[in-house]
């Protein structure tokens, strides 16, 4: 056994079908009685239903959560928190809504009950990314780690098929990079392999039938497992590239992860053989990179940066940004090879 250091994160997880019914109980258990419900404009109806369900425990709804947590949106939400006298937030939605809850907690220390409806995994991490003047910065602080996560599989049945696949690939990316992280440890590596396997099994079934409850349950479990990996250990070149492409070129989050991941894995293949063997085993694939590529390609996800808003002329600048302050990576960062990685991702070549 290699020596390791592991920090466990405190968080309460309630997982099941129909668990949305337990929100009031969880709010009360935190000693709170004035919940501000957060969501996006697209999920407003679900937010309104939750406010009705909470009755006297809810003091309002803020439904303008936005991707990449722009600081202007956080300021607007903080003004609502103050005007309604909220003593906790209840975030219902994907990573964007949960990001807003975290931003509010960063400023106010209010406790968070979060109800994830995608597989992004933000709910399980002490990480917050925020965007100001077109620049996205991230920080790690326990202040933003949600106190309670309520996973209700029923809420994921409405996640559209394509978003299910890209969001699932986003989750797999966390577990993949956890397996070759510089602070990898045996507990998180086990969870990573289980998370990849659960999502790998679930996506083909959900693609065939989005209302397959057992597969939805596997996928949501996988999302939690992969989110825990993201929260526990450092990420490498894949996350650096996605951070660059999302933050500086405004590419969509889950789709970017989906397209880049097989190529980032191919880049690291020779430098992290044990991790690669575990990823391939979890996916039942011949190689890690091909297993990941095929999972996306066979289930209707985008596979080319060219198809999700990247301009070929911007690749050089993306290479420059990604290589200028790189995250630790098992293979040294070689700008010419990173250029090749992005060229492959741009054209969607099978690795
Ligand atoms: P998202 O939260 O922006 O959701 C995308 C769209 O899908 C939204 O319109 C949303 O309302 C809708 N939606 C969500 N769940 C649905 C459902 N079940 N049915 C129907 N519609 C649904 O997208 P995301 O990929 O979950 O999150 C991306 C954001 O999360 C990015 O800003 C990213 O940086 C952040 N993130 C942060 C962390 C972290 O640890 N800090 C981790 C992962 C992602």
CATH number for the domain harbouring residue 237: 1.20.1090.10
Q: Does residue 6 lie within any of the structural domains?
A: no
Q: Does residue 340 lie within any of the structural domains?
A: yes
Q: Does residue 190 lie within any of the structural domains?
A: yes
Q: How far apart are CA 26 and CA 216, in angstroms?
A: 23
The pair phi, psi for residue 132, each rounded to 5°, is -140, 130
Q: Do 187 and 271 sit in the same domain of this protein? A: yes
Q: Do 339 and 281 sit in the same domain of this protein? A: yes
Q: Do 244 and 338 sit in the same domain of this protein? A: yes
Residue 80 structure tokens: 């609502």
For residue 195, the model assigns a pLDDT of 98
Q: Which of 119, 137, 156 is the last residue of a domain?
A: 156
Indicate if ligand 1 lies below 6 Å from the C-beta of 206. Answer: no
Interstrand relation of 148-152 and 127-132 (parallel, antiparallel or unpaired)? unpaired
Q: What is the CATH number of the domain that holds 151?
A: 3.40.50.1970
pTM greater than the 0.90 cutoff: yes
Most distant CA pair in the chain: distance in Å? 60
Indicate if ligand 1 lies below 6 Å from the C-beta of 166. Answer: no
Q: Which of 98, 128, 156 is the last residue of a domain?
A: 156
Q: Among 48, 74, 120, which is best to mutate for testing ligand 1, by the most ligand atoms less than 8 A from CB?
A: 120
Q: Do 282 and 324 sit in the same domain of this protein? A: yes
Q: Do 170 and 21 sit in the same domain of this protein? A: no
| Cα–chain center distance at 272 | 23
* Per-residue pLDDT tens digits for 121-180: 999 999 999 988 877 788 999 999 999 999 999 999 999 999 999 999 999 999 999 999
For residue 257, the model assigns a pLDDT of 98
For residue 135, the model assigns a pLDDT of 75
For residue 133, the model assigns a pLDDT of 82
Q: How far apart are CA 313 and CA 305, in angstroms?
A: 12
For residue 248, the model assigns a pLDDT of 87
Q: Do 124 and 196 sit in the same domain of this protein? A: no
Q: Do 205 and 313 sit in the same domain of this protein? A: yes
Q: Do 42 and 190 sit in the same domain of this protein? A: no
Q: Which of 124, 156, 188 is the last residue of a domain?
A: 156
Q: Do 108 and 180 sit in the same domain of this protein? A: no
Please give the tally of structural domains in the chain.
Answer: 2
Q: Does residue 4 lie within any of the structural domains?
A: no
Q: Does residue 167 lie within any of the structural domains?
A: yes
CA distances from 281 to 149, 216, 284 (A): 30, 22, 5
User: Which residues of the chain are modeled with pLDDT < 50?
Assistant: none
Total Cβ atoms within 10 A of residue 121: 28
Q: Do 190 and 266 sit in the same domain of this protein? A: yes
For residue 302, the model assigns a pLDDT of 98
CA distances from 142 to 127, 145, 175, 297 (A): 8, 5, 21, 37
Q: Does residue 1 lie within any of the structural domains?
A: no
Q: Which residues contact 246 (CB under 8 A, 6 or more apart)?
A: 68, 136, 252, 253, 256
Q: Do 151 and 170 sit in the same domain of this protein? A: no
Interstrand relation of 127-132 and 135-140 (parallel, antiparallel or unpaired)? antiparallel
Q: From ligand 1's centre to the CA of 336, what distance in Å?
A: 33
Q: For residues 234 and 181, is the Cβ–Cβ distance under 8 A? A: yes
Q: Among 118, 158, 170, 177, which is best to mutate for testing ligand 1, by the most ligand atoms less than 8 A from CB?
A: 118
Q: Return the residue whose CA atom lies nearest to atom 9 of ligand 1.
A: 42
Q: Do 62 and 115 sit in the same domain of this protein? A: yes
Q: Name the strand (E) or helix (H) holding 26.
A: helix 23-29
Q: How far apart are CA 194 and CA 178, in angstroms?
A: 12
Q: Where in the sequence is the domain holding 299, given as residue range(s)?
A: 161-347
Indicate if ligand 1 lies below 6 Å from the C-beta of 191. Answer: no
Give the end-to-end CA distance of the chain in Å, rounded to a whole number. Answer: 32
Indicate if ligand 1 lies below 6 Å from the C-beta of 99. Answer: yes
Is this prediction's ipTM beyond 0.90?
Answer: yes
Q: From ligand 1's centre to the CA of 323, what distance in Å?
A: 27
For residue 136, the model assigns a pLDDT of 79
Q: Does residue 253 lie within any of the structural domains?
A: yes
Q: Which residues contact 171 (CB under 8 A, 6 or more apart)?
A: 119, 120, 121, 195, 199, 222, 223, 226, 227
Q: Does residue 3 lie within any of the structural domains?
A: no
């Amino acid at each position: 056994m290699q020596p390791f250091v592991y920090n466990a994160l405190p968080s309460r997880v309630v997982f099941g079908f129909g668990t949305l019914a337990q929100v009031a109980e969880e709010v009360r258990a935190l000693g709170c009685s004035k919940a501000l419900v957060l969501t996006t404009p697209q999920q407003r109806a679900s937010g309104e239903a939750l406010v009705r369900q909470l009755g006297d425990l809810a003091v309002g709804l803020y439904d303008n959560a936005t991707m990449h947590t722009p600081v202007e949106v956080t300021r607007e939400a903080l003004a609502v928190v103050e005007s309604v006298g909220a003593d906790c937030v209840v975030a219902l939605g994907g990573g964007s809504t949960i990001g807003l809850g975290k931003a509010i907690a960063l400023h106010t220390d209010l406790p968070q009950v979060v109800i994830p409806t995608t597989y992004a995994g933000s709910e399980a991490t002490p990480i917050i990314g925020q965007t100001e003047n077109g620049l996205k910065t991230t920080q790690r602080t326990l202040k933003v780690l949600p106190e309670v996560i309520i996973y209700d599989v029923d809420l994921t049945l409405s996640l559209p098929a394509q978003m299910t696949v890209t969001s699932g690939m986003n989750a797999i990316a966390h577990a993949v990079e956890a397996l070759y992280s510089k602070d990898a440890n045996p507990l998180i590596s086990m969870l990573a392999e289980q998370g990849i396997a659960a999502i790998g099994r679930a996506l083909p079934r959900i693609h065939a039938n989005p209302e397959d409850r057992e597969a939805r349950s596997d996928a949501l479990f996988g999302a939690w497992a992969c989110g825990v990996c993201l929260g526990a250990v450092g990420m490498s070149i894949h996350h650096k590239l996605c951070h660059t492409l999302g933050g500086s070129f405004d590419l969509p989050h889950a789709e970017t992860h989906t397209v880049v991941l097989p190529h980032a894995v191919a880049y690291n293949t020779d430098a992290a053989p044990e991790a690669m063997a575990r990823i391939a085993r979890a996916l039942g694939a011949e190689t890690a990179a091909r297993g990941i590529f095929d999972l996306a390609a066979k289930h209707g996800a985008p596979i080319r940066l060219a198809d999700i808003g990247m301009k070929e002329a911007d690749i050089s600048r993306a290479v420059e940004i990604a290589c200028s302050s790189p995250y630790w990576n098992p293979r040294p960062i070689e700008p010419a090879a990173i250029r090749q990685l992005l060229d492959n991702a741009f054209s969607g070549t099978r690795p």
